[in-house]
Amino acid sequence: MSDKNHNNDNKRPKKSLYNILDKEGFYIILFLCVCIVAVTAIWVSNQEPDYILTEDMPRFEEQPDITLVEEGEDTNLDEPSESAMLPNTQTTSEIGNNQQSLSETGQAIGQSQSLQTDEANTDMEDDTEDAMIVSSEQRANMIMPVIGRKGLPFADDRLVFHQTLEQWSTHKGIDIHAEEGSPVRAALEGEVIEVINDTIMGITITLQHNEDLLTRYCNLSTDAMVKVGVTVEKGQIISGVGRTASTKSVEGPLLHFQVIENGNNVDPQNYLPKFNN
């Protein structure tokens, strides 16, 4: 009986402890949680300033320097001064001067080229005038190769009628009708460069007066009076009027006279005195 009572006494304290734990345990746990939260908050609050400073320090270093300006001082710091703008003004002026220099240079070159062109044109005009003077002198100095009557005229740009040929064609010289055997004279001083007996134009003598000017005498009566290489005087008799040209047989005795300048046949009447008839 006593053992059972002893056992019952032992069970009562255990049940009392369990009851206390059941009732007070919730509050104890709650108190511990509050303590933990408070300790954690205190620790975090103590560590946060250092963390913030460490986090923000690079930001302060990256910011540019700030200059404080008192009232009354010039605050237009970003605007360039007149001295800073001066080089640009000078550069613009220099550019304008360079452009003006280039323009003047171009004008000078153009004037130089124009002067050269004018000089070249003047030289050409002088050469042309000299040639015209020479031609005029030669024309004025030529004499009639034979005294007679004008026949078939010069025609290189039109057709004339040839009685012997009975056809229309061009005519490279002029025909001067005269009695057979009438003396034929050199129209100008020159060198005999050709003496031939042509089947078409008959006996023909050609004189060279300069590099560009020749005279030719056709339908002559003889080729024995001059030879190739001989220089004849102006007015010197070189042959006589004949009838040796087959293309002039119907027209009768005449001199067929040609003037050749620069390799081209030209009108002899531009070089000879005017005909009386």
Q: What is the per-residue pLDDT across 32-56, written as a single tens digit (0 to 9) for each? A: 888 888 888 887 777 655 444 444 4
CATH for 145-270 is 2.70.70.10
Q: What is the rounded CA–CA span in Å between residue 150 and residue 18?
A: 174
Q: Which residues pair with 254 in a beta bridge?
A: 177, 242
Residue 159's Cβ-count burial label (10 Å; 0-12, 13-18, 19+) is exposed
Torsion angle in degrees (nearest 10) through CA of 228, 229, 231, 232: 0
| pLDDT at 273 exceeding the cut of 50 | yes
pLDDT at position 139 is 57
Residue 184 in tokens: 């034929």
| pLDDT at 96 exceeding the cut of 70 | no
Residue 13: pLDDT band with limits 50, 70, 90? low
Question: How much is the CA Rg of the chain, to the nearest whole Å?
Answer: 66
Q: What is the rounded CA–CA span in Å between residue 142 and residue 207?
A: 13
| pLDDT at 20 exceeding the cut of 80 | no
Residue 83: pLDDT band with limits 50, 70, 90? very low
Q: What is the per-residue pLDDT across 115-127, written as a single tens digit (0 to 9) for each? A: 666 666 666 666 6
Bigger pLDDT: 26 or 96?
26
Q: What is the rounded CA–CA span in Å between residue 118 and residue 162?
A: 49
Q: What is the per-residue pLDDT across 161-179, written as a single tens digit (0 to 9) for each? A: 999 898 999 999 999 999 9
Please count the residues of the chain.
277
Q: Tell me the Ramachandran region of residue 252: left when phi exceeds 0, alpha when psi lies from -120 to 50, beta otherwise.
A: left
| pLDDT at 12 exceeding the cut of 90 | no
* All structural domains of the chain with their residue ranges: 1-56, 145-270
Q: What is the rounded CA–CA span in Å between residue 154 and residue 169?
A: 11
